[in-house]
Homo-oligomer: A and B are copies of this chain.
């Protein structure tokens, strides 16, 4: 027997485990933020669309066990695929999902993500926590966190435009 508990680290088969958490306030109540995750047309606008991005496929089946599939590319870049499956949904309060990303069919990462929405005055405090496994050194935790912050800004713009 040879057992020990070890801190997460990059190991022999090149999986890097990383967790980060980001908070963002929005000036609308939790139900409005939740809707932006739950409604396919709205989610597509802030999550998949954008200048320079070409969306090949976007579908959302927002229920526990349901899938969200997006395939897209940025300018002339390779096709990126995101396969999401919802793990837990508490309306207006919490969304837990797993997503796998692949670039040009090569697996990049698998992540467990938690979105928590808490009323804050007349607005919402959103906490996004991602527990990620980056495969074969294909991505970095820092780049992922930056990407998530950009998405949170896109969500802010979506919420602003629909007030």
Residues of B near A83 (CB, < 8 A) are 65
Task: Tell me if A7 counts as interface (CB < 8 A to partner B).
Answer: yes
Task: Tell me if A131 counts as interface (CB < 8 A to partner B).
Answer: yes
How many copies of this chain are found per oligomer?
2
Listed stretches A41-49, A53-61, A71-79, A91-99; interface member: A91-99
A13 touches B94 (CB 8 A): yes
Contact of A13 among B2, B8, B116 (CB under 8 A): B116
Task: Tell me if A104 counts as interface (CB < 8 A to partner B).
Answer: no
Task: Tell me if A162 counts as interface (CB < 8 A to partner B).
Answer: no
Query: Within A1-25, which residues are at the interface with B (CB < 8 Å)?
Result: 1-9, 11-13, 15, 17, 19-25
- Chain A residue total in the interface (Cβ 8 A): 51
Task: Tell me if A140 counts as interface (CB < 8 A to partner B).
Answer: no
Task: Tell me if A88 counts as interface (CB < 8 A to partner B).
Answer: yes
Whole-angstrom distance between the alpha carbons of A1 and B110 in the complex?
Answer: 29
Q: How distant is A141 from chain B, measured CB to nearest CB, in Å?
A: 11
Residues of B near A94 (CB, < 8 A) are 13, 15, 135
